[in-house]
Every structure is written in structure tokens, then in C-alpha cells.
Chain A
Amino acid sequence: MTDGPLIVQSDKSLLLEVDHPQAGECRKAIAPFAELERSPEHIHTYRLTPLGLWNARAAGHDAEEVVDTLLTYSRYPVPHALLVDVAETMARYGRLRLEKHPTHGLVLSSTDRPVLEEVLRAKKIAGMLGSRIDADSVAVHPSERGNLKQALLKLGWPAEDFAGYVDGEAHTIDLAQDGWTLRDYQRDAAESFWHGGSGVVVLPCGAGKTIVGAAAMAQAQATTLILVTNTVSARQWKDELIRRTSLTAEEIGEYSGTVKEIRPVTIATYQVITTKRKGVYPHLELFDARDWGLIVYDEVHLLPAPIFRMTADLQARRRIGLTATLVREDGREGDVFSLIGPKRYDAPWKDIEAQGWIAPADCVEVRVTLPESTRLAYATAEPEERYRLAACTREKVGVVRDLVARHAGQPTLVIGQYLDQLSELGEELGAPVITGDTTVRERQRLFDGFRSGEIGLLVVSKVANFSIDLPQAEVAIQVSGSFGSRQEEAQRLGRLLRPGEPGPDGERKVAHFYTLVSRDTVDADFAANRQRFLAEQGYAYRIVDADDVQA
């Protein structure tokens, strides 16, 4: 047997030993077809999925290459069934092709007639297809291109899309690299997106996803529609684009609840697009307002369902999705892949940290013991009330106060889910509170104050989960969250990971992330689930008792 760094498991997971001399080489070799699932400190887990294998086919790798890679790097014999399965799965890709036909427009064709016959008989697909052209091809309604691809993927016969992309309305966009340069991984990410046509780029929070978006725009040289989560985030995008590219404020429009500008580069919020009036989406025309050459989806893991449907109609336009955490508790990762595109770039958080682009973080779970009376109340509470009861215990306030005191002088965020709890904390700590009810202007004022250092402590609700750029923040204390959401936990930690400037002693900052959990309650169970994503990215949580913190 060889002494390779890779162990191929029969359940199709691949274990990569990180400290092995060949690990880097092996990582590069398996990256095209295997999905990185977990990257803790010693052994990284990849997984072979049909989707990943088909993406590899789309990128021009064949089954023989995959099998050879596995055999080359595998330390132990590779189960035959797995190799057969890889070959069979990959052989399913490309039997069907979506092509542009000179007279019939978009057609679905196949060299393998039984496969075509099989999918034509699928009920889900019937409505998407037009008339049969000949034995091997059938017309497709152009508007169904995305839906059809999605449905074929579900049937297990993914179509290779040869129909190409529209160039869109040209618009000059250049990166203004004055005093900064594109980081290697950002360039890699932008390029692998561009070669792939469409797809998703996964980078940790604070690693500069906006710049990847800007680089993609510079590649496209076309009018661009950017979809973001909220207005604050839209403003940040605008500022960042003005700073990093040749675009001027006049070329960038904002399309939100308050302002409706359509300019060569338009930034719209998910909220305004998904607003429904009298059963219709009045802002849908935005997608057709210009001949967009590129559509950017920020925080693609949050993409709401209506946007999925709208995106299905935009398959001819290039699309880039940006996210730090492509985990959805609703399990719709597959839709992201089939509608936005496959994952084009992924970097383990710890790798970026090792390169110094994001700050190292110290994650601590603080276990709070409930007093007898609260436990009794908890034990007898209705199941749906339990989490709230456990998460909002008074005990946490004291611990938060101690933690804030310990990190006096370091900009601190207190993050929670429940407004009562947040306002209670705000009063106790004498700190301003930002929730969904806070006006955009007030929010901007408080965030600016925080950035400039006037405000050292903010209590925020989930509005600050995403896309809020607070590079100064060094400490975050999480008191409650939306149940077991893994990506929320990661996004909240992400608020702290902007590296910031080195201090006077040359030391870079170390972020501190505290999460307060009530012992022996559902709070603790949810916390365990929430931490999984980060733990799998190699963030080791320490668990301490509240008494130890206070001592």
C-alpha cells in the first residue's frame, strides 16, 4: 500500500490528513470533484456527491481522472463499489444537452435516446418542454431553462448547458488598485467563477467577498445588478465599490424601500424585490429594467424562496453568489447549486486565518446554571416556550456584565434574539440597543459611532447578523439566537474577524466570542448544533462555567 494522505471511506467521505507532506498536493487534486465538508485541525473531511462529480465533469474532468486521483493518494485500498459508483455517476452527466438551435431556439437534445425518453415521461418536466423536433431533441421554453436544469438534476440526469450567456449591456468597470491589491485567493475566486460562467464563491466572513464581487464585475465589463440583504448592507456595498473600482457615485443606484434608482450598477435589497402587493411582485421588472450582464447575490445562503423562482428565469445571465456559510437549515443548498451555479471556490477559514487575512478568534461557551426556581419553571413550561425561557434567564445579565468589564476598552457587541432580553441588557449595561425597529439613519449613526470608537458597547439584535462591517469589534457576547442555526453562529463570529490594524505593540487583535448557554436545557442542545459549522471549520470552543468567569 502507498502511504498517501487520503483515506477513502466506503460511505463516500474522504479523510485528508492535514499534516501529511502530500496534503497540499492532494487537496488540489481532489478539490475539483469532492466537497469540503469539515476542516477541523487534523483531518479534513471531503465528500463525493453526485453534484460534486457532475461539477467536475462540467469543468472537464473525467471519471478515469477521478478514480486515478483516489487510487494515487489513497493510503488504503479503495472499495470497488465506490469506484464503480463514481464512474456511473459521472457517466450520467452530459447525456442530455441544452443547446441553442438556429431555428428552434433553445433545445434539449441527447445522444442517448432512452435517457431522453425517460425524462420526457417525467411529469415534472412535461410543462417545460415544447414540441418534439426529432427523435433526439425537443424544444424548451426559454423561460424554463433554469427550472428544467433544476428538475433534470433531481431526476439524476443533469443537462450540460451549451446555450451560453448573454453579454449584457457593456459598461466599463475597472479595479482601482491604489494602495491595495487583490489578494491571491480573491483573484483565484474571481477567476474560477469567470471560467465557470456562473456559480458560488464561499469565503469566510471578513475575507473581502465584496472585492471578489467587484473583481467579477471588472471581468464582466457590463451593467450589474447586485442583490443584498438590507439597506445598510447596500450602502456598504456602494461605498466599497466607489473605493475599490473606477465606478463613481453617479453610476451606482440604490433600489430599496426608500430610494428607487436604476443605474448601470444597481444595488437592490432582497426585501424590496420580494415585497408582494395584491398577489404580485411589483418590483420584478427590475430584472428586466436593463440588459444586465452580471447579477451578484450577496449572502446567497439567505436567498429567499421567491428569488429562487425569479432566478430560474435568468439562466442566460451570468450569476455570482457570495457567502461565508453555505449551510441552510432548510436544506436548499441544492437549489442554490442548480439555479445560481455550482460552488466555484471554497477556502477553509483556518487557511485564510493562517495567511493573516482574518483575525484569529477565541471561542468560549459559558455555561450558566439556572437557579432552582427558574429550573422548575423551565421543567413545567410548554415545549415552545422552553427555549425562550432558558435563553432569556436573568443569570445571563450578570455574566454579560462581568464579561464586558473584563474586556473594558475593547469594542464589544452583545448579540441576542429576544427584544425583551436586549432592552433589559441595554438598560443594565447602559448601552444603546439596535433592533429591527431602529431607523436606518439611527442605525447608521450608532454604527458610525462604534466604528469611530465613540461607542464602545452595542447591544444588537439579529439585524447585525450579516453584512454589517464593524472592523473594530473585538468582543462579541451572544446571549440568544435563532435556535440551532449554524450559519447565524458563524455569521456572528464573522463580525469579529476583520483583522484591523496591528496595535502599538505590533500584536494583531484576537477576537473573543462568547456564547452564553443555560446548562441542562434546550439552549445547550441548540448551542451544540450552532457550533457545529465553526467546530468543523476548526474553531475549538472552550467550555467554562459561569462561576469561573465571575471568579
Chain B
Amino acid sequence: MEGVEAAPGRHRSLADQLRSWPDERLRRLLIERLDLATPAPHDFSQLASRAAVRTSLLRALDSLTRGQLSVLDALVVAGQTSTSELASIVSASPGYVTAALDELQLRALVWSSPEGLRPLTGVADCLGSDPAAGASGLRPRSATPRPAAELRASIEELSPEARALLDHVIDAGGLAKASTTRTGIPPDQASTPAEELTSRRLLQSGGSAHPGMLVVPGEVGLVRRGGRTTLEPVDVAPEIAAEPRSPRLVVSAAVGAAGEFVRRTELLLQGWGESPASALRTSGLGVRELRAAAQRLGVEPKEAALLAEVASAAGLLGSRADADGNPVWVPTDDFDAWCALPTAERWVVLARAWLASPRLPLLVGERGPDQKPWNALTPELAAAGMPEAKTMVLTELAALPDGSGPAAGTGLPSLVARLAWLRPRRPRTRVDLVTWAVEEAARLGLTGAGVLTDYGRALAREEDPVPLLAAVVPAPVDHVLIQADLTAVAPGPLEPELARRVQQLADLESHGAAGVYRFTPASIRRGLDIGWTGSEIKEFLAEVSRTPVPQPLDYLVDDAVRGFGRLRVGLATAYLVSEDEVAVAELVNHPRASSLELRRIAPGVVISTLPIDVLLPRMRDLGFAPVLEGADGVVRVGTTEQLRARRPRESRGAARAAAQSAAQIEVALRTLREGEADAQRRPASASSSGGAASALRDAIERRGRVEIGFTDRQGVIAERIVLPLRVEGGELRARDDAADADDPDAVRVYPLHRISRVTPL
């Protein structure tokens, strides 16, 4: 990798090598393997020890490309070797191998021992056997491999059956059950194809690592594959099938979708601010609520689920208890601030939240493993790999030539294939994740007709997309056109404050870039209910309309004002009074009045057993215009209070998380350098248990022997010289140095907490 100097020379241990690195390179390591930095390691042996832990290794391998994994796999096969020899056994250009090795060293997966490059011991196990994840399926070479020419000659002598068997075993992972096959016999005594192989040591005993098994040594596999670990080249990433699209179509489609997404989010949350969506016991959003919301917005339920999930990820939607203590989903206090932002900024808030969100809204409505349909906003509806899938999709789309997008039909599969090459080890659900990411990006308006927009690119590069988007979103308009059919048309997106006020007085009939609002007696009455007066309404309409306000609308307002407040409902006793006896009669005799549970007790006075919050809306539904009367007999008219939830803590910013991890890395670096000075003064042996594990891992990587002091089960303190093999799960597996080569009991397990002292020899 350019900009980072390769580690010079060879090192006694991984810790030594790390110690020799400059800060810049260490920082890169900690960025790539963030888990090594938390908590800050106190010296380099601990850092090196952590780097060799299985979970950390798995995580590091997950972020490698298939090509890098193939190079690593080749190194495992080779055991320990030089860069040039490694280049000769990988089906890739030497330049690629060098670059990959550098990357692997940077991630502390490979280090330069005095004998050559070595992978960390745990790597072989962690690589697995999936060829799609870079595994060649070859076993490691023997300690002293026979020359290739000699092996080729042995293979020449084989019968076709034996050769087929050999190839089969190699392709199946290089391991076979020994069963009754004899080993150690001369070739002329071989009676089965398997014995033909064992007699020529093409199949060898598995030893203590694989008791009862036969293995094909790596060098034999290499010979059968023409000296390389794989038959296909490993350094070619699949290309995305792309085709150019008309820029006009792209911008139009993307900006259209982006505007639409912001608008729908606002509509959705506004609706839930007025009548909150009740939450399920599992804290998700019920199917019925979702469908109702989808219908209100005129979209399919999946789109509504995406809107809700993104709003929730952006901290605009939260849950709280309603007046009865039931959990409900309502907009958060941030929603009001968000509403006041210009469209482009509002979109960016949503898009950033989407990019960082692990949620899977497009799964909503599908059935889960328990055959129950997934609900939106349930905590389980997430996949850890989703943010990465989104980022990678955007990065890949950004890498396509300007104005090109994945081709129709073949584009998506090729994108999936490319991502599978770039991150072959996980996740297993990649096809779904990528498909969702692509679809969600289109719905959010990051892409138009499949092509990533310039503001989408900016977002993917973590730059500010606002100016780019603001240049293309329609400018807000500050007026409407009111027509004789009692509609008001906003010929563009209304300014937020204006839109809010128009919506108080009229029903939104058609939405999109523009808006069509219809005035009805009910909508005007709603305006009166929240505190508008007749003259205010008229003044407002005259002010915002570019066209003269038609006379019928004026009349409608007057008529609503006239009818407004004719009935009064009492809070304390749930009574209804009116000077207008006829209105009372009208109410009581209304065909649907039975639901109001009304009883007339005197001329102009009616009581109801219903609580007022049920009674009021029902009466309004029936077309009456009651107003609320306080205990002192004064009519109470005022703004209705919309519910707001607090923004949940955890969603306060992906930026903060990033800053946190950056700070963590700096702390780790400082601690390392400081700990270093102490370590210089400490003896090489370790007596603390943490130090013991580090020292043992260090020895494993060096493949060196140590003397351990430990307490056995009888409480006797003993000392032993061992070759440590693995430290895992609080135990050390080590081979007794004094034991014979084929002693099955040579490998013993020592609980780490019983080891009091480790002295490298």
C-alpha cells in the first residue's frame, strides 16, 4: 500500500514487529481492526495477543476481499515463505500478491518471522473451506516438502483409479478417513488405490492433529494444480454490467423520489402527531396501523414501513405512553425542528440515518421463520450487515462511469457477484441485503433509474450533499391558486410554515411536487377548532392566493363561522347545551346519534355518558360543530396540542460514534507507547494471568517453546517445558516438549488460571 512503508526486516515475534511500526501504520491497524483498541491495550504483547484471538481474527477476515483471502490461504498452505515464492503459487500477478500481503501485514494477520512470512496460527482454522471465500481446500505443506519433480514422478506411477481418488480427496478438502488403509508399506505391496497413495506418501497419516485420518500434504495438491493453489486467477473482481442512461431521466427520477420521500415522511409523522399509532407489545408497529398509514399516504405498506423506519432511525419518530399509559409511536421533539429545514437538508437527515441504519423495512409483511409476518419497527427487524451492504452498494455505484447504472436485468446480479467477491465471507443473506439496499436507495432518491446521483455520490463519500441537492430540488413557492371548485393548487412545494397553515384549513387531495387542497365545511370547521377566526381565515386566503378568492369560498367560511359553536359540551358532567332547541333536536334525532349516548334532560340541554374526548370527535363526525365549555361557562377554543416523544438516546448521531472510535484509537496509541517504556524494564517472563496469555500467544506465533509454572489438581506447583499450540476459552493447549513425536497424549490442556509463570526459552 502506498503511503505506508513496508515493515523492514524480520522480527522475533508479532509484538516485536508491531513495536517497530510507526504511529501512522499502527493507527491504520487500529482503524481496520477497531476491536484491538477497546479497551486500550497496555503494551505491544497484549496488542499482538489480542490480534491472535479467534473472534478478532474472524472479524478481520470478514473484511477481506476474495483475492486477499486467497493470498492468505496460499500462505497457510505454504506454511512460511518469502513474498516471491508465495507469488509463484498464487494464480495472480506478483504485484497483486505483494499488495495483498502488505494489506494482510497491515491488519496483523501475517507477520515476518526470521524464517519468512507467517500467517497467525489461528488463521488456518478461521479461513474455513468455502472456495467462494477464498479457501483453496489444500492442506498446509509438510515441514520438509519433497521436491515437485519427485512428486510428479510418483503421481505418474499411479493407476488411473488412484489418481482419480487423489484428485477427489484434494477437491474434498485434503482429508480422508483412514479406515483399514495401511500406511508405511512399500509401493509394490499396495492393494487398493488408497494404499497406492499412502505407500508413495501422497496420503499421510493425520497424526495427533487429525487422529484416524489421512491427509494430502499441501505440496501434493499444489503439484496437481500446476503449482498454484487455485486453477482460476484470484485477482479478477467481477465487473458490474452497466449501461448509460439519459441524465435528464436520472435527475428527474431521483429528485422526484427524494422530494416525495421527504414529503411522505412529513405527512406520515404529522398524521401520527395528531392521532398516534399504537405500538405492539413487542414495541413494533401493527399491521393495521401500518396499512392505515399507507392508505393515508396513498402508498403500499412496504413504502410506509420504509418511511417509518427511516424516520425512526433519524430520531424523528419515537415511542411514548399515551394518556392511558399505552405505548404509542409519535414524532419526537426533533420532528418540529426538522420540519422547519429546507427540503434538501431534511432529505440529508433522512438519507444519513438510512445509510447508517441496520433496519430491514422491506421485509415488513413477509413471514419470518416462525411464520409470523414481520412488523415494522420491531427491534429484531435488523441485520448487522445492512449498513455495510448499503455503503458498499453506493461505493460500487459511484465507481461506475458517470451517468451509468446497473444494466436492466443483468445489472443487479453482477453487482451482487462483485460485492460477493469483495466481501466473500459474509453475510450469507447478501443477495437480499444488496437487493434491498438498491431498492431502498431508489426509493430514497439516491439513485434515479438505477444511476447514482451527484448528491448521492457526495453522501457516499461522506461529503455534504446539501448544496448539490438544493440546486436541483424545486424551489418552494409562497402562494396558491384558489379556484371556483373550492380547491387550492400550490404550483410547487409550499414553504413549510405555509403548508402547515393551509393544511389546517383544507384537506390535501393530491400530493406530489405540487399540492391540491380542497376546502370543505369540515376542513374550515377544523380550522376554527384550532383557533382560527373567520376574519383571520379570509385574510390569510386573500394573502396567499394569487387569484381572487372565489365568492363560494368566502361564503363557506362565513357559513362555518355561523354554525361554529352552536352547541357546547361540558367537561365536568358531559353535558350539551344550546340556545338553539332545533339544533339539539337535530342532534338527538340524528340517525347515528345512538353512538353518542345522549339523553335530553331539559329544553336545550342534553347529557351524555361518554367521556368528552370520545364524544367530541364523534359529534364532529356527524357534522356538528360543538365547542368545549369550561367550568366557568366560558367557551374554550385553542390550539390542539400535538403529542411529541423524546428522541431516543441511542440514535443521537452516527457522527458521534465515529468521533468516539477515532478518539479511542488515539488513546490506544498513546497507552501503547507509554506501556512500551514499562515493558522494556520488565523481565521477559510474565507472572500475571493476562501477561501469561500474551506471552503464550507470542510463543505460539513464534512457534517457540516456553517454560510454564503451574499448579496441578493436587495443589502441587510444577514446572514444564511445552510447545504452546492454542490459547482459547481460558485454556492452553500445549505439546509436552519431552514427549515422543507420535505420542497421542503429548498434547495437554492447562487451565490458564493455574499457570503462574511463563518464561520464553
Interface residues of chain A, those whose CB is within 8 Å of chain B, are 1, 7-11, 13, 15, 17, 38, 40-43, 45, 67, 71, 74-83, 365, 372, 375-376, 378-380, 383, 520, 532, 535-536, 538-543
Contact = CB atoms under 8 A, between A and B. Distances in A.
B259 A379 contact: no
Contacts of A80: 252-254, 256-257, 442, 448-449
A9 B253 contact: no
A42 B485 contact: no
B259 to A, nearest CB: 7
A10 B511 contact: yes
A8 B512 CA distance: 7
B494 to A, nearest CB: 13
B670 to A, nearest CB: 50
Contacts of A74: 252
Nearest to B448: A80
Contacts of B241: none
Contacts of B547: 41-42
A411 to B, nearest CB: 27
B755 to A, nearest CB: 64
B512 A10 contact: yes
Interface stretch (B305-313, B548-556, B597-605, B643-651): B548-556
Contacts of A17: 491
B125 interface: no
Contacts of A43: 481, 483, 489, 491
Contacts of A535: 484-486
A8 B513 contact: yes
Contacts of B256: 10, 76-80, 82
A431 to B, nearest CB: 30
A259 B634 CA distance: 74
B631 interface: no
B510 interface: yes
Given A379-B589, A538-B484, A15 B491 contact: yes
A532 B487 CA distance: 11
B249 to A, nearest CB: 7
A40 B516 contact: no
Given A1-B474, A13-B510, A45 B516 contact: yes
A234 B390 CA distance: 70
B582 A379 contact: yes
- Interface residue range, chain B: 35 or more
B227 interface: no
B260 A76 contact: no
Contacts of A38: 485, 487
A43 B513 CA distance: 15
B586 A79 contact: no
A383 B256 CA distance: 47
Contacts of A536: 485
Interface string B528-562: 00000000000000000001001110011000000
A539 B551 CA distance: 12
B513 A42 contact: no
A41 B552 CA distance: 14
Nearest to A537: B485
A380 B484 contact: no
A25 B481 CA distance: 22
B260 A79 contact: yes
B257 A40 contact: no
Nearest to A381: B589
Nearest to A382: B591
A538 to B, nearest CB: 7
B358 to A, nearest CB: 25
A42 B485 CA distance: 11
Select the residue from A7, A80, A538 with max chain B CB neighbours within 10 A.
Answer: A80
Contact of A76 (B513, B581, B582, B591): B513
A77 B582 contact: no
B492 interface: yes
8 contacts: A1-B472, A9-B510, A9-B511, A11-B510, A13-B516, A15-B514, A71-B249, A520-B563
Contact of A77 (B252, B484, B516, B585): B252
Contacts of B259: 76-77
Interface in B463-496: 472, 474, 481, 483-487, 489, 491-492
